[in-house]
Each structure stands twice: as C-alpha cells, then as structure tokens.
Structure 1
Amino acid sequence: MRRFAHFASRLRLWRLWSLWPDTLFGRLVVILAAGMFAGQLLTSTIWFETHDNRTLEIPARLFGSRLADTVRLIQRAPNAATREAIVGTLGDDRYRLQWVQGAPLPVPATLSLAQRATAGLIEGVIRKRLSEPIDVHLIDAQVRDGARREGGVLSLFDSRMPTGDFHVQLQVPGQGWLDIQANEGQAGMHTERGALVMDYLLRIYLLRFAAVCLIAMVAVRFALAPLRRFAAAAEALGRNIYRAPLAEAGPREVRNAAHSFNAMQQQLIDSFAARTRFLSAVSHDLRSPLTRLRLRVEMLPDPASRERLRGDLEDMEGMVRATLDAVQGVEITEPRQRIDLVSMLDGLASDAWEQGHHVSVTGSVRAPIPGFARNLKRCLQNLFDNAIRYGGEEASVTVTDVEDAVRVVISDNGPGIADAALLERVFEPYFRIDSRRSDAPGGTGLGLTIARSVAAAHGGTLVLRNRVVDGRIVGLDVQLDLPRGD
C-alpha cells in the first residue's frame, strides 16, 4: 500500500511537471502571471478587510435619503389623519414606522466608532436633503449578510450584497418623534450568491488575469529579444565566422554579453588565421627539402627505384597542397551575396567541356540564393571533379526548387559505393575507399570534406546516395540542398 501511495505521488508530480512550459518564454510568462495573480489575491484580502469598515456607508446613505423623504411627506400633510395615513402607507416589512409615546430613547453609550460615524452620515444626508437640522438618535446599526462572515476573500463565497439593519428615532419638527426600524440595502442586494460570485470572478479576476497574461507575454518577449539575437548570431557564426560583430546595445548585462561574444568571435578568427599561417609556413618550408630529395632521386642509378621515389614525392607534395587548400577552402572571407546558381553550374560545366569531359546541366530555380560565391564554387567544383573522375568522364547535373531550399543533384555512372556504411565515412578527411573509386587518378580524400563544410557554412546539407536499377548499382548521386532564404 505504501509503495502504491509513493507511486501515485510521483505520478501526480510528473503530471504537474509535464504542464511546466519547455521554453524560457513560457516559463517566464507563467511565473509573472502567477506572481501577479497571487498579488491580486492578497490585494483582494486587504480590500475586503478595508471594505468591512465601510460596509454600512451605502445602506446608511440610502436610509438617510429615505428618512428625509419620509419627514418631508409628513411635514407637508395637512392634518393629523393624513400624517397617520402616510406613516401607515410607507411602512412595510423592511421599513417599519411608529410614533414614539413618551420620551425618545437616548443614544446608547455602547455604540462603536463605526456606528457613531454611521449616525453622523445619516444626519448629514437628512440635513442636506431637508436644508434644516433634524435631531436623530441612532439606537443600533448592524450589517446583515454582509461582505464579512468568514473573513477575507473567503467571505465572497458566503455572502450576498451587504445590507444594514437600522434602528433610529428622529424628531419631526412640530410633530413628535418617530421610531423607525429598517433593513436598507443597495441595488442587487438580492442577487443570488452564485451569480454574484461569477460576476465578480469574471470582471475582477478573469479579465485582470487575461490582461496580466497579455502584458507578461509582451514584456517577456521584449526582455528575451537579446537572447533571440544571441541565438541568431551564434547560428550565423557557425556558418560564417567572419560575420559582422554583434551590436553592443541595450542594458548593461546585454552589452557585456555582446562584448564577450564579439571577443570570442575575434579569438576564433585569430586562431584560424594563426592555423592558416602555420600550415602555409610548413608548406613553404617543406618545399626546400622536397626539392633536394627530388634532385637526389634523379641521381639514383636504378630507374625502377627512381620512379617509385618520384611518385612518393609527388604524393607528399599533393598532400601538402591539398591540406592547405582544405584549410583555406572552408574559411569564409567574403560577404554574403545573391548567387545565380544555374549560371554558376553552367560555367563549371563549360569549363569541364573545354577539358574534354561531358557534363550536362538541366533544371532551373525561381530566384538567386544567398551565399558565398567563391566558397560555393569551390564546393561545386569538387563535386564535379569527383563525378568526372569516378564516372568515366561523364556527369549530369539537375537543379530544382524543393520547399524552402534549392536542390542540386550531381550524378555519375561509376561503380558507386557498395557498402552503405561508407556513404558517410567518405566525408572524413583523407578517407578513401579501397575499391575502383580509390584507384582513380588524382584525389587526396579532402574534396568531399571541403564540399560538406562549405554546404554547412551555407546552412545546407550534402549527402550521397547509390543509384540502383534492377537491384544493381549504376552510379552515385550527390545531393546538395541549399536554403533559399527568400
């Protein structure tokens, strides 16, 4: 039984936690709205406590006006019979009048401060309505079914509109003393409790809660704007480290964060520049010993050994050049611009035709795409070279619009990659497949690495797929998707 209770408790906590928003925006809105709503509840409690001290004010004013009208009617009566008729006619279950026989009752010494204030309020209303002083003795004044029974906010659910029970004796000038016992209220005092509560909750709490949520959403969205700018800047930094620095504007904390972000960006730029300078220096320094080795190789008496060593030296030089090209190829050092992708592909295909290769380009796109022209051309050139090298000097290119991107598919008629697991590994630096593809002349295993890095810098993707017909691989398709950025 204890285990079941523990499990049920954890299940309830999990359900409550599942309602907790997953975004910072949602969490801040909930926190602000809940805090303001809790403050509203506490304010309502204080309001009810303060309101209790003035519960009799409206009923007392209404009662005073009614007494003034009663005195005026009695004063205007032409004779005693009419006065008696007026007193009898005005009386009902909630307003009982009778003439005092003998001396009037004195004002009780036990009246509270609130009751004495109520007596003064009634006298003031009568004096204002009749333009003459009237002697009024307040015997008693109590709240009936008022706004306070349990106290505080809870009294709202256990009360009607407040009414007052009054017992006064007043002197009608020249006529004697009247004893009046009345229950006076205000409009809506007989409203059903459920309707009163719903009306109160709708107007006071629901509308305010909606307003608080709206204000919180606007305020939080405004407050989180710097975070959105940071996220966009970080995403752009991943594509182009040479992007413009983040504007250091806004509150002090935002300015400090932007300054730190820009400092980090500059450190990365300096680090990449140092790496490039290092590789360039290594490449330059290797040329001298490689040249000496080439001279010594030419002096070897054995032609077979000389040919093998010459090939090794060429491979070493090719690796050094390819490594330097790979570092320079993925660095973005140019501004973003609109690129006519079809024209760029046609130009690369024309260059291939001039070199004796057969490359065709088909398809179109509706508009230029944003990108870095030199790097994108390097990416496409590497893909062209791979397709020509492994596809028997032939390749076909198709360019189309797909949803919010532009798709370029470069197809060759080569052997493809039979092992599906290697379709991803070929993007690793210096990785080459031990098959007919690796036997093709040229290549260092960095072309696809550079191409995917450039695609990622544009926010795009690059994947390889075998083209299969009747269960047999007839070629390889390289699919490059670039965001349109309309």
Structure 2
Amino acid sequence: MTTPDAPTCGLQRGLQRGWQRVKRAFWPDTLFGRLVLILAAGMFAGQLLTSTIWFDTHDNRTLEIPARLFASRLADTVRLLERAPDAAARASVLSALGDDRYQLHWVQGTPPAAPPAPSLTLRATSGLIEGVIRKRLGTPIEVRLLDAHLRDDDGRHRGILSLFDSRMPTGDFHVFLNIPQQGWLEIQSKEGQAGMHSERGELVFDYLLRIYLLRFAAVCAIAFVGVRFALAPLRQLTRAAQALGRNIHRAPLPETGPQEVRSAAHSFNAMQQQLIDSFAQRARFLAAVSHDLRSPLTRLRLRAEMLPDPAWRERLRGDLDEMEAMVRATLDVVQGVEVTEAHQKIDLDSMLEGLAADAREAGQAVSVSGATRAPVRGFARNLKRGLQNLVDNAIRYGGAAHIAVRDDGDSVHVTVSDNGPGIADDALRERVFEPYFRIASLRRDDGGEGEAQAGGTGLGLTIARSVAAAHGGTLTLVNRIEQGRIAGLDAELVLPRDD
C-alpha cells in the first residue's frame, strides 16, 4: 500500500488555498458582479484580438509615405535608365543614383519570385508602388516586392513595435524591377518620413485611451445598467421569498420577463399556493378536532357536576379547564403562524397603552414608558396577540409587567420586563420557545427551592416568536442582573421598519 508524498500533498493544498484566496479576491460573490465582470472581460478579450487589425492598418499607413517616396524614386530611376543611350551610360546613372540608403544592382538571369502568400502589408505596399510608377511613367512596370517593413530609430526590424518607441520610423524595401529591354534591376532602399514623425509613446497612449479605456468604461456602464435591468425580476423574486415567511397570503409574483424568469415566478407562485392550501387544510383539521372535542368535554362537565364529592368535582373541573385551554392554545398557535390579515400601519403606542389599561382594569400592575417616532407596519391582530402573551407571562411569573419602548429610526424595540426569578441559562435561548414547553419549573426563587406559580399551556412564547418572525423581527429573552443576582426577565421584541 502506497501513501502520497507528504511534500507534494502539502504543495497541492497550498496551491488550492492560494487559488481560493485569489478567487475570493477577484471573483464577485453576487450574480450581478459576475455578469458585469464576464461582459467586461469578454469585451476586453475581443478588443485584444481585434487590436491587431488596428495596428496592422496603422502600420500600413505609417509605411505609406516611405512607400510613395520609394515608388517616386523608382519611377525616376526607370525614366533615366530608359533615356541612357548605352550600357556605359546606364552604369553611370546607377553609380550616380546609388548610395547607402538606395542600392541598385543588375540581376543576371531571372530574379526570385514574389512570396506566394504575402502579408496584408506586403500586398498593400506592392499595389501602392505599382500604382505610383504607372502614374508617373504612364506605362505599367513589372514589380516584384520581396520585403517591406518598418525600422525603428536604431535600425532594427521590429514591425508594429516600432510605432511605440520611434520618433521617425523608416521604411525598408527590397524590390525587383523589370526594365523594358534592359533586364531586371534589384533595389534595396531605406526611405524616411520626409520630416513627419510621431512622438514616442503617443500612439499607444492614444490607442489605450480612446479605444481601450473609453470603450471599457462605456461597456462597464452599459453592463451595469443592462445587467441590473435584466436581474430586476430575480431581485423581485428574492424579496418575494423573504416576504413569504412574513405573509404567506401576499400577492403572487407577476409572471413577466424572460422565459427563465417566468418559469421561476410560476414555480414560486405554485409553491406559495401549495403552502396556503396546506396551512388551510391543517387549520380545518384542527378546527374539526376542536369542534369534535367540545361535545365529550361538555358531557364530562355535566357528569362532573353530578359527583357527590366536592373535592373530586373541583379537581375534575380543573382538568377539563386545562384540556379546553390546550385546545384553544393549539388553534392560537396555528393562527399566530398563519397571517391572514392585511399589512398596515399600526399605532404601537396606542396598542401598548390599551394592553396596559386592560390589565390594570383586571387589577394587574402594568406600566408603559417610551414612545415610537412613527407608526410601524405590520399585522395588527397578530402583533397584539404576541404582545399580550409577553405581558401575560410577565404578570404570571413576576406579578407585574413594565413595557419599555425605544425607537432608533431603523427598528422599534419593545422590552417587557418582570421581577420574577428569571429562567435557567440552558433553556433561555431555544428550549423555552418550543411548543408546550412550560417554564414554570425553571423560574425559581433565589434559594432555588419551590416552584413559581404554574400556569399557561407552554405556547405563549411560541406564538410570540412566530409573530416576531412574521414581522421580520426577533424575540430574545435575557435575565436581568442587578447587584449580582437575577432581578427578573427581559423579553425584547425588535420590529424592523420596512417603509
């Protein structure tokens, strides 16, 4: 059995981690950013491929002036040779015209043929030279252009690179002319720009600025607008999915846009309808069960009243009251999770004052402090049910309740405090919100002996948390510590403002 080489595995892991870091640094995390990057990168790659055409064209234009000067000199050379009376005179003409930049030689025999597959520059230059000679002489002359390219200021053949760092690139030509009735003449020449020059780096700066930078900026701007417009249905789908948890009866998504978006919207609407039907079926089932249980409960109450022993009669009444309370609470849980009312502006201050006033009329101590800056948007009946459960819990376990309101502009914080024994830390975060989980046994006095007043069905906090989630908010419980001991429990309901 063989094992992989440890250094190799370490190197592979290092490369993988490095690639992940590079990917996180340069690869956007959003679909919007990725589409914009792909469009911009595609444009840039396409521009790189097509830029060779621009450079080749500019190379031809830079070579055009030397080629015209060279063609004019060739035409003058042919004219002088045709007028020479004899071979000695023609030799004198070649000697007088030749120098280091214009070399002429008679060719014995047939000269080399032109390249079978000339480049675009060579074809354009050959046609230009033939055209100038024909125009100057009035008759066509056979021209075989073997080479034509640019040299930089140092005399090096660098092709289009000479456009970037040469102030006056020159043309280098190698041609064979068929002089009528005299033979083939080989000419190698170097022709300059006749006083014209380009500043060093000017061309590349102009190209990068006007073609790359401006086009890149234009494509990015168009991509930002276009991709944002194209992704608008997806953003709408995201908002709808987020709102579905708060209000399952929200209006269906419009099935418009591209085919993929229409299909996604149709699937989303179908899922929403299935959830609505499922919740409605569950509510009907629980309502039917509740209705069916009322008849035997009523018969049990009648039979309990006929018991001769008062103690047994009272105990049976308590059991029946608890059963009815559990049935009602179960239906309340369903109603607390399922939002069927309209989303509207709620005067939270008036709602809290009303809850406190109702509690005081019943002889309970409830106070309110603080106020909101403006109404909040939500579901009034569900929100009132959740707040009522928090107040009832505070009164049940602490004897009194204090409601504190704080509005920071972005969200509203409603804290319901009591003076009870608090809740054990191991159940404070999640267990206490589980359905039918009663916290009476967890809220003890300072000495840890005895049980706080029992009551409730263990569904109040479940309903309150469901109401908070339906409003896009949170519900948290925190033991209030004063002088090193638990002085009560704070239930904080946070309602974000979405208007």
| TMscore range, shorter length | 0.7 to 0.9
Counterpart-to-counterpart distance in 2, 1:301 and 1:452: 45
Partner in structure 1 of residue 480 of structure 2:
467
Cα distance change of structure 1 residues 431 and 71 upon mapping to structure 2, 3 Å threshold: same
Q: Does 1:164 align with 2:172?
A: yes
Q: Does 1:18 align with 2:21?
A: yes
Partner in structure 1 of residue 416 of structure 2:
410
Counterpart-to-counterpart distance in 2, 1:365 and 1:282: 42
Counterpart-to-counterpart distance in 1, 2:9 and 2:214: 39
Structure 1 unmatched runs, 5+: 76-86, 148-153, 172-177
- The Cα RMSD (Å) is 4.4
Return 321-330 or 232-241, whichever deviates more: 321-330
Instruction: Give 1:295 deviation, angstroms.
Output: 1.3
Counterpart-to-counterpart distance in 1, 2:314 and 2:469: 41
Return 236-245 or 470-479, whichever deviates more: 470-479
Q: Tell whether the 8 Å contact from 1:65 to 1:126 is kept in structure 2 after alignment.
A: no
Cα distance change of structure 1 residues 423 and 122 upon mapping to structure 2, 3 Å threshold: closer
Write out aligned runs for 1:49-60 (5 A).
51=56, 59-60=63-64
What TM-score, normalized to structure 2?
Answer: 0.76
Instruction: Give 1:333 deviation, angstroms.
Output: 0.9
Q: Tell whether the 8 Å contact from 2:416 to 2:490 is kept in structure 1 after alignment.
A: yes
2:437 counterpart SS class = coil
Partner in structure 2 of residue 289 of structure 1:
296
Q: Does 1:64 align with 2:84?
A: no
Q: Tell whether the 8 Å contact from 1:465 to 1:477 is kept in structure 2 after alignment.
A: yes
Q: Aligned letter for 1:373?
A: A
Cα distance change of structure 1 residues 190 and 325 upon mapping to structure 2, 3 Å threshold: closer
Q: Tell whether the 8 Å contact from 1:417 to 1:423 is kept in structure 2 after alignment.
A: no
Partner in structure 2 of residue 355 of structure 1:
362
Cα distance change of structure 1 residues 11 and 23 upon mapping to structure 2, 3 Å threshold: farther
Counterpart-to-counterpart distance in 2, 1:327 and 1:12: 53
Instruction: Give 1:214 deviation, angstroms.
Output: 4.9
Cα distance change of structure 1 residues 93 and 376 upon mapping to structure 2, 3 Å threshold: farther
Partner in structure 1 of residue 494 of structure 2:
481
Cα distance change of structure 1 residues 120 and 31 upon mapping to structure 2, 3 Å threshold: closer
1:292 counterpart SS class = helix
Partner in structure 2 of residue 378 of structure 1:
385
Q: Tell whether the 8 Å contact from 2:397 to 2:452 is kept in structure 1 after alignment.
A: no
Percent identity over paired residues: 60
Q: Tell whether the 8 Å contact from 2:74 to 2:133 is kept in structure 1 after alignment.
A: no
Q: Does 1:367 align with 2:374?
A: yes
Write out aligned runs for 1:87-236 (5 A).
94=101, 96=102, 108=111, 110-112=113-115, 114=118, 118-125=125-132, 133=138, 136=141, 138=143, 140-144=145-149, 163-167=171-175, 181-184=188-191, 212-236=219-243
Instruction: Give 1:450 deviation, angstroms.
Output: 0.6
Cα distance change of structure 1 residues 197 and 88 upon mapping to structure 2, 3 Å threshold: farther
Q: Tell whether the 8 Å contact from 1:460 to 1:481 is kept in structure 2 after alignment.
A: yes
Counterpart-to-counterpart distance in 2, 1:299 and 1:435: 38
Q: Aligned letter for 1:359?
A: V
Return 19-28 or 199-208, whichever deviates more: 199-208
Counterpart-to-counterpart distance in 2, 1:117 and 1:324: 89
* Cα shift readout 1:252-276 (whole Å, capped 9, x = no counterpart): 2211211111111111111111111
Instruction: Give 1:36 deviation, angstroms.
Output: 4.5
Cα distance change of structure 1 residues 23 and 420 upon mapping to structure 2, 3 Å threshold: same
Partner in structure 1 of residue 246 of structure 2:
239
Cα distance change of structure 1 residues 164 and 204 upon mapping to structure 2, 3 Å threshold: farther
Cα distance change of structure 1 residues 41 and 352 upon mapping to structure 2, 3 Å threshold: same
Q: Tell whether the 8 Å contact from 2:111 to 2:176 is kept in structure 1 after alignment.
A: no
Cα distance change of structure 1 residues 120 and 278 upon mapping to structure 2, 3 Å threshold: closer
Return 334-343 or 113-122, whichever deviates more: 113-122
Instruction: Give 1:233 deviation, angstroms.
Output: 0.9
Q: Aligned letter for 1:4?
A: P
Counterpart-to-counterpart distance in 1, 2:442 and 2:393: 15
1:444 to 454, 457, 464: 457
Write out aligned runs for 1:68-79 (5 A).
68=72
Cα distance change of structure 1 residues 59 and 157 upon mapping to structure 2, 3 Å threshold: closer
Cα distance change of structure 1 residues 278 and 449 upon mapping to structure 2, 3 Å threshold: same
Query: How many aligned positions are there?
Result: 456
Q: Tell whether the 8 Å contact from 1:330 to 1:454 is kept in structure 2 after alignment.
A: yes
Q: Tell whether the 8 Å contact from 1:57 to 1:118 is kept in structure 2 after alignment.
A: no
Q: Aligned letter for 1:259?
A: H
2:340 to 319, 322, 333: 333
